Chains A and B, each alone.
Chain A
Amino acid sequence: MNWRLLLVAVGVVVFGVSLFELARPGASPLPANQALLPVLAAVVLVYVSVVLNDVRQRPDLVETPDVELATAPDAPGHDLEQTAAGFPPVAEFGGEKQGTVRGALRNAAVGVLTRYRGLDPGQARRQVLDGSWTDDRRAADWLAETDPGSSLRRRLRRLLSSGSRTERARVADAVADVADVETDPTGRPDDEPGFAAVADTGTGGRLPETHTGGQTRDQPRQTHHWAGVSVVVLVCLGVGVLLEQPGVVLAGAVAVGYATYARAGPPGAVDLSISRSVSTTSPDAGEDVAVTVTVTNEGGFCPDLRIVDGVPESLAVTDGVPRRAVALRGGESVTFSYTLRARQGTHEFGPTQVVARPLSNSTEQELLVDSETTITAVPPLRPVQESVPLRRQPTQYAGRAPTDSGGEGIEFHTVREYKPGDSMARIDWNRRARTGELTTLEFRRERATRVVLLVDARPGSHVGHDPLAMDAVERSLGAAQRVFPALLSEGHQVGIAAFGPAECFLAPDTGTSHRQRGRDLLATHPAFRAGASPDENRRIWVRQLRKRLPGNTQLVLFSPLLDGRTVRVVRELEAYGYPVTVLSPDPTATETPGQRLMRARRRLLVTDLRQTGVPVLDWPPGTPLEETLKREVVTR
């Protein structure tokens, strides 16, 4: 600071002396002559290099998130190694070293060979180890156990390619091929994400930890917008004086003007208030919502305000732009609007991000202004038009689920000997007329069942086949939303619970208010929101879930069925006497080898689960839920 003052003082003194000299040549004590000028010019030019060094260090500007987009779900299987490691181990095949990629891929290959080629594990293992299981020589060689032959070339290749990405990708593709996974013609050979990875789709992440609401203001920072201009000043002076060109020296004066402009005065204090209104806070899912934002300047003149509204991370803008650059005088305000497409669930707006700059562009200050707005969208009531294929299970309540015991009902079951007290209407009068024998008709007894819908909302399930479409949890919730009223109107008692460590349980019940409760819970419960995962390490949630489930209940699980753990939990629940039906939205894609391997793995898990007697309704994306239900009813 003192150093600067001294320089300024020296400058002022020299300036005065020079002016005096201009007026009265020869009167001042300045020791200058023609020879000193070039020396000074050279000093100036040397200083240029010092300044240039600084200019290169340009800081990053304040970043703004892509608020227009909704957070895109990843396709499962972006990590090939983890996908391979997650294949269910083949029971009779314990000799393989798990933990290495090669071991995991061998296990995967044996797994698909036993299921899809009907080999027994020993045979499959032999084929994998001698490399005869696939036509892809490189994949087979890489996976084969030992000496792939006397060929030096092969041996060299194996040595060089140990663990290379290409070889793994080829093996993954070969495994997927055995499992009949089709290759996407637009696919890519590597595991790079195809969709330009959008880092952030909301402004909430920009808030500091200590945020308490209201207005958060960052320190203003240099933009170094004019960083090069002092170099121009110095070059003009140096060159102009050296070559005695007054025009160039004067041009330097222009640059001095801009350098001063860049430093002119500190930016004024920015003070803003924001109000946001939405056309409706409780739209139907899929409905368009108009958002109007008004930004008012409570402070002095702001020549450059760059405003980005805090569109909820989970919602996408369909029309209009939630961004604006405006100049506002004190007290003035600006209003802009845009349209959102509502999706099922509760969506909170983030703070509005504002970047304020002075006229000269030389600094910028980031502000985050809160204006709390929440939209809650509940999907319209639309029960499925097909009957939900529940498991057979007798209870004491009259209802519409067919059971395996005879009695009153509609569908013919058996004929038995007449017992006194049987209803006249159930006596088989045709037989009585033909043979004189008195028999009673038995019908399939229909009974109500207690059902709990389990929705898999663990973090790993927030994946989808297409970054622009719904993820598996959303599809699960959508399906549950439609199955729930359908089961209720069939007379069942229906409850809802989260499949995972999140706390969410609605005990089975019937009635209109229960129907509404369930609908709201599915639409808005925080347990189903992405990123709302509680402690992942709570492994005891299965036991807790089991404790809460009433006896004599059957379960419908909505899960993408991507990992072995899900299958184990389903088996456990079955073992404890809860018949489970799985409705599984398929979130797998086929663009990269890892994704194809994941699809093969999911097929394997589905097959395994079906073999234990659990019906799995595989629901491919883009098909109506009814179709999937109907197919299940027909094949049963």
Chain B
Amino acid sequence: MATIAMPGRVEAAAPARPAEPTGVWSWITTVDHKRIGTLYLFTALFFFVVGGTEALVIRLQLMKPNMGIVSADMYNQLFTMHGTTMVFLVIMPLSAAFFNYLIPLQIGARDVAFPRLNAFSYWVYALGGVFITAPIFLSLAPNGGWFGYAPLTTTAYSPTLNIDFWVIGLQILGISSLAAAFNFITTIINMRAPGMHLMRMPIFTWMSFVVQFLVILAFPVITVALVFLLFDRFFGTNFYTIAAGADPLLWQHLFWIFGHPEVYILILPAFGLVSEVLPTYSRKPLFGYPVMVYSGILIGFLGFGVWAHHMFSVGMGPIADSIFSLTTMLIAIPTGVKILNWISTMWGGQIRFTTAMLFGIALVALFTMGGISGIMHSSAAADLQQTDSYFVVAHFHYVLFGGAIFGIFAGVYHYFPKMTGRFLDETLGKWHFWVFFVAMNLTFFPMHFSGLLGMPRRIYTYDAGQGWELFNMMASLGAFLQGAGMLIFFYNMWRSYRQPATAPADPWGAPTLEWTIPSPPPDYNFAKLPQVTSRYPLWDEKGREAMIQHRAGDRIPSAEELHIPMPKSTAKPFVVALFMTCMLASLIFLHVEGMATVGILATIAFALAMVGTLYSWLLSPLE
């Protein structure tokens, strides 16, 4: 509250918009949700390149039979890190970039509920990402699959440090997701502008809301499963020791109780983005908005009742298999409702085929394909034929690449002008889209066939003469074509960065609150608190003009001129995140010969440093 300044005199030659702070330090100390969203976006894109490169090496190795590009052990590290990276370091944080950037703007708030906690979440993610990724350069990267099935990952079968990096790294990343989830739940519940009831909330915010609940319910379960594994590995407990009577399915159950909701954590934000994109470029309200909300909630809720469909082949017995088959088939209904509503949204609309729209339409098509192969897996009998084959690989790449990634790119093209004030070039964007679309299908469609022909997942090479050569060659070429598509995208971003910022407040004629304010928005977001009277305020004939807070050429006043108190920049969340990551990372030394004492001392020292900084953070005021 101390920063409220004197009413600033408006100078005649005042700049058109207040100056943004620059420099590395300003990014380390920022607590602005928009800047944190930008940090998430660029960090996640960096890891997308890392995870993509891992995929390219995998595809190079599998291009032809009996290739020797990498060793079997390095191959294990590559597929493990490809999965772990794409799930935890790419798709979740890309979604988090949009949560951060859009939720406060869509509900008409100045920032999130806990701006410093938000910075903390980002830094924990960034540092945890480095911790889990870096070991691959020493051939010490996790090598037990992204699902890390115990007992395979216990010391008896995986004695080296590789799995330790995975266990500790996921714990670090889990803290980031949990902290962010508490923050967004509070923000969405409590910071909506006057008049924005739940049923007027933009659908992206709705889907994000559901996702945060999935996070707070699913992540504690994997936290516990990982603690068991950590204790088994470091302290000799018996949770996964079969010789001591442990149940080999315990890990699988705990992992998938987390793992299946995790799938919806990955896809629902993309669904939300596409539900913003399709109405805008069809110039029609979303078809069946309430049904879209309820189906999202239902997907989230049912997502906790289907976990064992990942385990049909372990022999749970006919009753359990039937129940999980049925719940899995059931969850297809709300998902199908969404597909139907998207198509009905476009039906009869004035469709503009922008790049964002193309990505959005592609999501509807590709996710439907992935969904249909998913329904095939829901039959336990059919799943026994498909499990652990490339058919499953094809399935989840259709839903996560064709679904989540395409939805996120739809969001990137749609919101890029809002975030930066600059447009991405549409011609290059369409090149990016078509290359991606063709490459995606070229890569993953043939995997259905190699899978049905019996090619197992996770093998590092194969012999000729099994009918897999053509399909693998196609998949590898497709993967490299995807890389080319990404190069077009990065070139497009770079090109746009060198152009002047000309985007108006609402370049696409979109209807929700984030388009009533300048592009990019000033640090305080809304100069005046919006009064919401409908679901699509900018599409109302009456009251539309009153909603618009910025027109081309308007000067953007600073927060001080408007007497809006802003949170102070602070490095404390970064420092706490750093100490916490170091504290958990030091546990690694417990497994290094002769370093256990060092590890314990370092852990305690970092814990004390963390608690000290935390107190200093909590005792200093926000504003």
Are chains A and B native binding partners rather than an unrelated pairing?
no
Name B's A-contacting residues (CB within 8 A).
none
